[in-house]
Structure 1
Amino acid sequence: MTLSVSGLNIGYGSKRVISDINLPELPSGSLVAVVGPNAVGKSTLLKSFAGLVKYSGDIYFEQQTLSAMPRADVIRTLGYLPQALPQAISLVAYEVVFSACRAVRTDLTAAQVEVSIERIFDRLGIRDLALKRLSEMSGGQRQMVGLAQVLVRQPKLLLLDEPTSALDLHWQLNVLEAIRDETANAGAIALVASHDLNLALRFCDYVLILSRQGVLALVRPDELTPEHLEQAYGIRGRVEACSRGFPIVLADRALTR
């Protein structure tokens, strides 16, 4: 299973947001951080993969273009988590996750869905939220339920837009560990948009750096350089190794643009 992109152009109406995106084949099990400055098109890129924004060019998954796949297959293959939190409705978490899975995974029996929900709730550490109404939850708790709605379906291509934005540090680590494990165990591919470079470097296999000119670089975490930081973010910074050997970004100052 691989993912690649050729000549991708994305826009809203006559406004071009992203131009000429090309990505080499990303292998099965890859966790890819999509990073870059504000308004550079991270969310738009994920929306194009999810079929929510029109684009030109080709997105290849499992050796065929997403645009040529039957819609039912696309829906089953993709798992998209938007930035917007699940609505604060009166249904309990178990109900919304069960419904999300049954709507897409029609090949699973109700019993199989229940087993999948139990596993994902345990993996995310949210079993205590199962019978709680979304209207009674914090934003971070609803974000966890939204992620459960995606993971329970066991998609082969995960598109996660800022999945840790409403979470404290404990839950950020928990979520990224879960996403990494689920991706690796299922042989899936995950694209995770993030503003936190250090979390991206800690958990992801690749870092896709977007700039206002398109793709700046696709690198492994240990290949990130101060030049990437300057070109993408306009900062003077360093990339050093922490005590456990993981790369970490130290930002020194903003440069005049």
Structure 2
Amino acid sequence: MADHGPGRYVAVGDSFTEGVGDSSKRRPNGVRGWADRVAEGLARNSPGWEYANLAIRSKRLRHIIAEQLEPAIAMNPTLITLYAGGNDVMDFGTKIADILDNYEFLVGRLADTGATLVLFTGYDVEVSPILGPLRRKNHAYNDGVRLIAVRYGALLVDYATFTAYANSRMWGPDRLHMSKAGHKYLAAKVLDVLTVPHGITHQEKRKATRGVRQRARDHRVWVTDWVLPLVGRKLRGTTLGDTLGPRWPEPVRVPPKKGLKKLTK
């Protein structure tokens, strides 16, 4: 991003951008996330930045197009980040061609604003061998995202290639959303792509080695606490985002010193 001067940053997407996995009781929807950290990094580097985050967990591309696209455009952003399509990829029966068609429509409309546009590939989360077909689908999605980024002159955060996420410490208990450490690391990567100086650091740490019995127990807990409820929601046609609104629905001026937490007291 050539111009680091203050502007208006609008984040669009699903749980990835909402900040799920990075808990923060005082912040809207109870999460912080990498996008908040990016907004704070922008404001520290160049005071005066405004920030809105329209992302809501579980949203598919059709929801983002219907609910977030026009509000984002109406805010006259100078910077937009978009991660969308991951939930569509994980839905059984969806076709990658249809996903990328909707994704490109969304990218095209956002690119027409003239704002700096940042896109993301999706990481291959190692949760279960059963999901092997979804990984192949994700690879096709990532290839499409890379081509679309070039086509529309967007910046790309190639999340799929970040080897730091091979460490389980970077993931939350559900094994699908980043932990606080994961969100913090990604914020640094986004600011790097934007060529914005920052002080976010990442220390590679290993989790304690678990024995076979402990791994089996952890897997049973994961299935009970996360997989079965997810399957139940799919069968009922409900999502965790059905009763939630955007975290920062209108642009807010980001305090350069204490960041967004100053706005939540």
- TM bucket by the smaller chain? 0.3 to 0.5
Higher relative helix content: 2
TM-score normalised to structure 2 length: 0.32
Instruction: Looking at secondary structure, tell me which structure has more strand per residue.
Output: 1
> Normalization by structure 1: what TM-score?
0.32
